[in-house]
């Protein structure tokens, strides 16, 4: 009997609302800057920030897929523009990032997320597969994971096939025995389809899918339906 051997799982906007999480983390960062580095705070909340971000990407194009290091470099450039000396600028940037990162990992899970993860992890190896920089341990999901693949680790972002192949290689399995679960039709569903994985589209907003969009193997509108969707895919393997 054929059996699924791996579940890969997107994190942001699949398990939690990343926009809400980032907004709260940004507010924590802004308050810290206002209290600890006021000249940098004035720059960070100004129109200069966008140009500093673009400048940082020009300086470090390799960091486009490593959001943590990119943010540290942006904050370092903010500190330099605020006339802090080099070592102090670096130290302040790292301290500011830690404030942001604590908030970035203080996630509010969508209903049913942890229950779903627990059930899946009892049946299959589960790997996180994310373009973001959430820390599995700090968000509290590491007990349910056998591994975690990030764009920073791979040097590419979904839907790049190397992201999916990295998970398959670590797990030692083939795409036909893997289901990828995610909210993004392009990054998650098209990316999984391109390497031959099955897929579950997490469509919590019940968005309409255009004719040009990829077709997931299954679609769910609430996280509590994911286990049943995965079970149905597994049953189809032995049909």
Q: Which domain holds residue 194?
A: 6-16+109-237
- Check whether residue 158 and residue 219 sit in a common domain: yes
Exposed e or buried b per residue across 110-121, where buried means at least 16 C-beta atoms within 10 angstroms of its C-beta: bebbbebbebbb
What pLDDT, on a 0 to 100 scale, did the predictor assign at position 238?
77
98: domain CATH number is: 1.20.120.1600
- Check whether residue 162 and residue 63 sit in a common domain: no
* Spatial distance between the Cα atoms of 211 and 4, rounded to a whole number of angstroms: 29
| 237's tokens | 């393997």
What pLDDT, on a 0 to 100 scale, did the predictor assign at position 1?
46
Torsion angles phi and psi, residue 14, rounded to 5: -110, -45
CA 85-88-90 angle, to 5 degrees, is 105
CB atoms within 10 A of CB 19: 10
In a domain, 137, yes or no: yes
In a domain, 131, yes or no: yes
* Spatial distance between the Cα atoms of 63 and 57, rounded to a whole number of angstroms: 7
- Check whether residue 185 and residue 92 sit in a common domain: no
Q: Could you identify the residue written with the tokens 């969508």?
A: 110
**Residue 11: which of 191, 100, 134, 111 has the closest Cα?**
134
Bridge partners of 199, per DSSP, are: 180
Beta-strand ranges (E) seen in 64-123 are none
Average pLDDT per block of 10 residues along the chain, 239 residues long = 88 98 98 98 96 95 95 98 98 98 97 97 98 97 97 97 98 97 98 98 96 96 98 89
Question: Domain tally for the chain?
Answer: 2
Final residue of a structural domain among 69, 89, 104: 104
What pLDDT, on a 0 to 100 scale, did the predictor assign at position 116?
98
- Check whether residue 94 and residue 130 sit in a common domain: no
Q: Could you identify the residue written with the tokens 């540290």?
A: 72
What pLDDT, on a 0 to 100 scale, did the predictor assign at position 172?
96
């Amino acid at each position: 009997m054929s059996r699924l051997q791996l579940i890969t799982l997107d994190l942001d906007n699949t398990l939690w609302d990343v926009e809400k999480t980032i907004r709260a983390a940004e507010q924590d960062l802004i308050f810290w800057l206002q209290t600890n580095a006021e000249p940098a705070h004035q720059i960070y909340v100004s129109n200069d920030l966008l140009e500093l971000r673009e400048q940082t990407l020009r300086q470090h194009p390799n960091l486009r897929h490593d959001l943590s290091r990119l943010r540290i470099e942006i904050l370092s450039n903010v500190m330099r523009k605020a006339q802090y000396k080099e070592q102090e600028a670096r130290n302040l940037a790292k301290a500011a990032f830690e404030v942001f990162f604590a908030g970035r990992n203080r996630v509010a899970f969508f209903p049913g997320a942890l229950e779903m993860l627990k059930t899946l992890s009892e049946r299959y190896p589960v790997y996180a597969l994310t373009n973001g920089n959430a820390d599995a341990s700090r968000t509290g999901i590491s007990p349910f994971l056998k591994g975690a693949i990030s764009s920073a680790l791979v040097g590419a972002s979904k839907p790049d096939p190397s992201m999916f192949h990295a998970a398959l290689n670590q797990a030692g399995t083939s795409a036909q025995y893997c289901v990828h679960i995610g909210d993004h039709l392009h990054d998650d569903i098209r990316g999984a389809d391109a390497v031959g994985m099955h897929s579950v589209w997490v469509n919590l907003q019940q968005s309409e899918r255009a004719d040009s969009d990829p077709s997931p193997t299954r679609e769910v509108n609430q996280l509590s339906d994911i286990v049943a969707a995965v079970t149905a895919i597994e049953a189809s393997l032995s049909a």
